[in-house]
Amino acid sequence: MKTTSRRVWTGLALASGFAALALVGCSGTGGQDGDTKAVGQMSLPLTTQGASGATYRLRNATFVVQSQYYGYDPGWAGAGNSPGYPGSITVSSETDPNARNISLSLEEGAYYVQLLPGWSMEKSDGSATQTVEATLLSGISQWVYVSRQSTSWAEYSFGIGGRELWLNGKLNIGIDVQETPPGEGGAAGAAGPAAGAAGSPEQSVGGSGGAP
């Protein structure tokens, strides 16, 4: 892959249209007892277009959406405990491989979205489709607030290319030279040659006085 194409920045925002599904037990978000609960949308786009015009699709991606009302543990979707984790929903890009996005209807409230390991990126230029190396540039977890009758997005950003291209920096090593030791610079250093010049006549006089 050429360097220019590897540097294409792919920003994938998570956005609208899948099965209506409310998390169980999201207390304090549904209004008065007996009222219809307030519902909004969380949208997860799976495709985007790069600056080159190529289309990129996120594949083999598993997202876990958890209600904040159950408390948040940074390792909540780790160690294989994501399916069935209290207050969570697991969705996959492979449920419908041709879908342009995943969308959830959720009760109004705060949620964490986590992208699990194992995802890959596909590139299509209209004539061929291939898997390309990509680096996740944003955090694996995103905080999203879903408002009633509106769509909220959880955004993930990817860089096309390896980690060394996007996450490495440069280290420069240089040297420093000091010509005058501390305490001996400035006026003291400048006085040296003047003192030597003034001393020449004194040495001449002294030499004459010492002659027999």
Q: Which two tokens stand for residue 163?
A: 């980690």
> What is the rounded distance in angstroms from the CA atom of residue 98 to the CA atom of residue 94?
8
Cα-flanking dihedrals φ and ψ of residue 167, to 5°? -110, -10
**Cα Rg of the chain (Å, integer):** 34
Average pLDDT over residues 182-190: 60
Using alpha carbons only, what angle is made at residue 184 by residues 181 and 187, rounded to the nearest 5 degrees? 140
> What is the rounded distance in angstroms from the CA atom of residue 144 to the CA atom of residue 167?
26
8 CB-near residues (< 8 Å, 6+ apart): 50, 51, 52, 54, 56, 160
Band of the pLDDT at 76, cuts 50, 70, 90?
Answer: very low
Average pLDDT over residues 136-146: 94
pTM: 0.62
Tell me the average pLDDT of the chain. 74
Average pLDDT over residues 138-165: 93
3-47: per-residue pLDDT in tens?
A: 434 444 444 433 333 333 333 333 333 333 434 568 999 999 899
> What is the rounded distance in angstroms from the CA atom of residue 90 to the CA atom of residue 83?
6
97-126: per-residue pLDDT in tens?
A: 999 999 999 999 999 999 999 999 999 998
